[in-house]
Amino acid sequence: MNTLEAITQRRSIKNYDPSHQMTGDEIHTLLSHAMLSPTAFNIQHWRYVVVQDTELRKQIRAVAWDQAQVTDASLLIVLCADMKAWQKDPARYWRNAPQDVQNLLLPAIQGYYDGNEQVQRDEVHRSCGIAAQTLMLAAKSMGYDSCPMDGFDFDEVGKLIELPEDHLISLFVAIEKGVQEAWPRPGQLEYDEVVITDSF
């Protein structure tokens, strides 16, 4: 399946076969490709919490509006990010770059994020959104369906997964083979309403 087909065919599916299990190799392939998603300054601040424990899944479902895909999906990813990744040995993000590039970018990382909590938070959500779409398109190309989710109690889920203080949760992505067709697309806006040339 090519990329355009994956984009066209990807839909948010909520009904899954709870008896099916993705293989470890499939999960590794999926997450390895998601880790190629772009991030500002290449700081790779996303953290993919793969929830495998059955009891933990049940506890998360209880604070996620009792949505069945939390427990029924073969793969549940709590997509988190380290808001302070920019501080944590940033030289490693550019270790393979030429020295002149490192000399330029490492101070720029410090200057961009230091003292700017709003930028730190905004970048986390931008990066997690890109990573979530990469996950969902990769899953579709592998024959799996998916559903992005933000219908849950963020604080309670944070407690359940022991989220570090300098991290936040952006969203869930559930991945599995769907057992029910998606609804027809419910109401796509017209191209000319969404695409603006030059200015409003």
Tens of pLDDT along 5-41?
Answer: 989 889 988 989 888 999 999 999 999 999 999 999 9
In a domain, 66, yes or no: yes
Does the pLDDT of residue 186 top 90, yes or no? no
Tens digits of per-residue pLDDT, 89-146?
999 999 999 999 999 999 999 999 999 999 999 999 999 999 999 999 999 999 999 9
List of E strands, the chain = 46-50, 75-82, 145-149, 167-176
In a domain, 186, yes or no: no
In a domain, 183, yes or no: no
Pure H helices in 10-164? 24-34, 54-62, 69-72, 99-113, 117-141, 154-160
Rg, the chain, Cα only: 19
CATH number at residue 49: 3.40.109.10
Which pTM value belongs to this model?
0.93
In a domain, 148, yes or no: yes
In a domain, 18, yes or no: yes
In a domain, 46, yes or no: yes
In a domain, 128, yes or no: yes
In a domain, 89, yes or no: no
Please count the structural domains in the chain: 1
Strand partners, 173: 77, 148
Average pLDDT, the chain: 95
The edge-to-edge listing of strands for the beta sheet with 167-176 is: 46-50, 75-82, 167-176, 145-149
Where in the sequence is the domain holding 8, given as residue range(s)? 3-84+117-178
**Do 179 and 151 touch, CB atoms closer than 8 A?**
no
